[in-house]
Amino acid sequence: DQQVKQNSPSLSVQEGRISILNCDYTNSMFDYFLWYKKYPAEGPTFLISISSIKDKNEDGRFTVFLNKSAKHLSLHIVPSQPGDSAVYFCAASSSWGKFQFGAGTQVVVTP
Amino acid sequence: GAGVSQSPSNKVTEKGKDVELRCDPISGHTALYWYRQRLGQGLEFLIYFQGNSAPDKSGLPSDRFSAERTGESVSTLTIQRTQQEDSAVYLCASSLAGDQPQHFGDGTRLSIL
């Protein structure tokens, strides 16, 4: 039962442009959401999070938007840089220590 | 070291053998997690330890899988009588508490022949 879905397995974006990654979830009890970035042969690294009491959180070039009514969150990266090429996972939690991860979106930033 | 350390980084073994994977969490992190990532798929939750509480084992796929953690230190994930479908990258993560972002190790790539 996949409760967190990233329907785009890959995304190609030009350097300097905006990358928009999407994530949908089905469990209305989820109240904490995170994005992770993963390079090959490395573990995921935490990027940014948002709790359900907010609809937006910014950290530098990264902004996460949460639409609770649509059960949808997105990650915006502006401007995209070559070092942003990686797999991005969204994750959601409704209880202490229990996180569900999406299948990931491979981002490729082209010159 | 400063990060989560996992060993071995790669493990190749024959079907039917037992394997033990090790995770050294970040010092002071009370929460520790094990995940599995099969090729082309997302992270699959296996087990969660929080301090001295009973672990949440709800993600373990079968009774061939078990994990232990002593206090807030090292954890080992054991897979008995390995099967080919156990081939995956096994990731360990730790966090200050169960509601905090997790810090991941680089994983153990397990290949069952």
A42 at interface of B, judged by CB pairs closer than 8 A: yes
B104, closest residue in chain A (CA to CA): A43
What's the pLDDT at A82? 96
pLDDT for position B1 = 53
Residue A82 main-chain phi, psi, to 5 deg: -55, -35
Residue type, A14: Q
From chain A, the residues in CB contact with B35 under 8 A are 101
Q: Do the Cβ atoms of A97 and B107 come within 8 Å?
A: no
Percent of chain A with pLDDT over 70: 99
Contact A100/A4 with Cβ under 8 angstroms?
Answer: yes
What are A76-105's pLDDT values in tens digits? 999 999 999 999 999 999 877 789 999 999
Q: What is the pLDDT of residue A67?
A: 97
Q: How far away is chain A from the Cα of B16, in angstroms, using its nearest Cα?
A: 26
pLDDT at A47: 97
Residues of chain B with pLDDT under 70: 1
Q: How many CB pairs below 8 Å do chains A and B form together?
A: 55
A57, with CB counted inside 10 A (0-12, 13-18, 19+), is middle
Report DSSP letters for chain A, one per residue: ---EE---SEEEEETTS-EEEEEEE--TT--EEEEEEE-TTS--EEEEEEETT-SEEEETTEEEEEETTTTEEEEEESS--GGG-EEEEEEEEEETTEEEE---EEEEEE-
Asked if the C-beta of A62 comes within 8 angstroms of chain B's C-beta atoms, the answer is no
The predicted-structure confidence for B65-74, as pLDDT tens digits, reads as follows: 999 998 788 9
Q: Does A34 touch chain B (CB under 8 A)?
A: yes
Average pLDDT, chain A: 95
Q: How far is CA A27 from CA A1, A5, A69, in A?
A: 11, 11, 12
Identity of the amino acid at B41:
Q
| Residue the block writes with tokens 């995170």 | A34
- All residues of chain B having their beta carbon less than 8 Å from the beta carbon of residue A44 are 43, 91, 104
